[in-house]
Amino acid sequence: MNKKNTGFNSKLVHAGTIPDDKGSAVTPIYQTSTFQFRDADHGARCFSGEEKGYIYTRLGNPNTDELEVAVAELEKGFGGISASSGMAAVNIVYLTILSQGDHMIGHDALYGPSRGVMEKLYPKFGIESDFVDCTDVENIKQAIKPNTKLLYLETPANPTVGITDLKAACAIAKAHNLIVCVDNTFCSPYLQRPIEFGADIVLHSMTKFINGHADIVAGMLVAKDEALYHDLKYVMINGGFNMDPHQAWLVRRGLKTLSIRIDKAQENSMKVAEFLEAHPKVDWVLYPGLKSHPQYDLAEAQMDGPGAMISFELKGGIQAGKTMMNNVELALLAVSLGGIETLIQHPASMTHSKLSAEARENAGITDGLVRLSVGIEDLDDIISDMNHALSKV
Ligand code: LCS
């Protein structure tokens, strides 16, 4: 059987697995910084690329290789480049695609630091950026300049769960020779595969759904084609953005249950979103599975499911939100997302606090917005926790 032609769930379990001569069912952890050569000529052949062989873990390791092959197959890309964190992956993209004098366009409601680092660090290298509401693709067209090189999207976006039309955005980008990078962290390849819509690079904070157990920080890029793969990999290796073998092994283990974790979290999320939307103390709820989501139809067409991220605003704004967050008992009051446990946090004072108040307001990140990452606990327990916390508001 050709394992490359298997279905999504079989790939989750088997893709990239490295056969072990001792018969181990699971790839062992290659916790080594360096690899022995058989002799001097073998070492020289490995360095020249004449022979594929492991040299030094920053350049490649069986555990990172296994994970890269698996995620690239799931995303239907040419190859994966693992990185120490999601932010390492973001910076690899910026450093690879952008040169002095270039311009990039990003969605305005990205994960805070993905936008923050571009606005704070990159201007000193002569790189400009504009962050616009890409959920209306007309805004992308308007923002394109002669020096624009990169379109950086995140859909659904953190924390507004706004959806960008990937097919339309990629078509605009291609007409202007822009590289498109899509942060697919909120979906994982189980719910959305941006390369199918024309993206060039897919980015993941694997800290989230792909690992899924809130015990690792990790990132991944998947390149659509070979040239881009080598360009990104050069920056990963020489920037020192590499992933550790043990980290890769843990993420590969978490990946095996991606679909069943998301199925359960998503089933819970739909019910939690409906519960919140009907609650008298809740002003509004944003969840791609609710008909009230402004891009409900687009989400249905583009994603294979609405995911497990919900944003909502309480009547009474931030004060009410704080009271709710201080009164949850099952959910953890913590940033991050996509794990098996339910997490609640306040973007304006936490994940997106480094953006200016104006940037947050323009991106729809209101001061009263509360973000929920729904876990796989019993639905009744999650709802009774929310109900209890809301009763204190
Ligand atoms: N992209 C998205 C969409 C994210 O949500 C995050 C982290 C990153 C990239 C960066 O990945 P990291 O380096 O942390 O692996 N998001 C976080 C959040 O919403 N709360 O805490 C971290």
In sequence order, the β-bridge partners of residue 285 are 312
Q: How far is the CA of 350 from the centre of ligand 1 (A)?
A: 12
Closest ligand 1 atom number to CA of residue 218 = 15
User: Is residue 351 within 8 Å of 364, Cβ to Cβ?
Assistant: no
For residue 157, the 8-state DSSP code is P
**Nearest residue by C-alpha to atom 21 in ligand 1:** 336
Mean pLDDT of 273-292: 97
Quickly state the pLDDT bin for 145 (edges 50, 70, 90): very high
- Determine whether the shortest distance from the Cβ of 247 to ligand 1 is under 6 A: no
- Cis peptide preceding 156, ω within 30 of 0: yes
- Between CA 322 and CA 390 the distance in angstroms is 11
- Domain spanning 258-391, CATH architecture: Alpha-Beta Complex (3.90)
CA 43 to ligand 1 centroid distance, Å: 39
- pTM beyond 0.85, yes or no: yes
Ligand 1 neighbour 217 (Cβ under 6 A): yes
- Which residue has the least CA distance to atom 19 on ligand 1? 336
Q: Are strands 103-107 and 148-154 parallel, antiparallel or unpaired?
A: parallel
Question: Which of the four pLDDT bands, split at 50, 70 and 90, describes residue 5?
Answer: confident
CB 115 near ligand 1, within 6 Å: no
CB of 316 within 8 A of CB of 369?
Answer: no
pLDDT confidence bin for 208, thresholds 50/70/90? very high
Band the pLDDT of 390: cuts 50, 70, 90.
very high
> What residue segments make up the domains of the chain, in order of their start?
13-255, 258-391
List pLDDT tens digits, range 237-271.
Answer: 999 999 999 999 999 999 999 999 999 999 999 99
146 pLDDT higher than 80 = yes
Q: Is the CB of 185 under 6 A from ligand 1?
A: yes
Query: Predicted confidence band at 363 (pLDDT cuts at 50, 70, 90)?
Result: confident
Burial 258-281 (b: 16+ CB within 10 A, else e): bbebbebbbebbbebbebbbebee
The string of pLDDT tens digits covering residues 120-134 is: 999 999 999 999 999
Q: What is the DSSP string of 117-132?
A: HHHHTGGGGT-EEEEE
Burial 160-188 (b: 16+ CB within 10 A, else e): bbbbbbbbbbbebbeeeebbbbbbbbbbb
Query: What is d(CA 203, CA 82) in angstroms, rounded to the nearest whole number?
Result: 10
144 CB contacts (<8 Å, ≥6 apart)?
105, 172, 176, 178
Please report which helix (H) or strand (E) contains residue 361, including its range.
helix 357-362
Helix, strand, coil tally for the chain in percent (to 5): 40, 15, 45
Instruction: Tell me which residue of 178, 170, 163 sits closest to 102, measured CA to CA.
Output: 178
Closest CA relative to residue 316, chosen from 343, 349, 282, 286: 282
Q: How far is CA 324 from the centre of its chain?
A: 27
Distance 86 CA to ligand 1 centre (A): 6
Residue having the nearest C-alpha atom to atom 4 of ligand 1: 111
Q: How far apart are CA 389 and CA 89, in angstroms?
A: 37
Question: Which residue type does 134 have?
Answer: C
Q: Active-site positions?
A: 58, 111, 183, 208
| Ligand 1 atom 12 nearest Cα | 86
Between the CA of 71 and the centroid of ligand 1 the distance, in Å, is 18
Res. 3: pLDDT tops 80: no
Q: Which atom of ligand 1 is nearest to the CA of 185?
A: 3
Give the number of residues written for the chain.
393
β strands within the chain, DSSP E:
79-83, 103-107, 128-132, 148-154, 179-183, 201-205, 219-223, 282-286, 309-314, 332-333, 343-345, 369-373
User: Which architecture, in CATH terms, is 13-255?
Assistant: 3-Layer(aba) Sandwich (3.40)
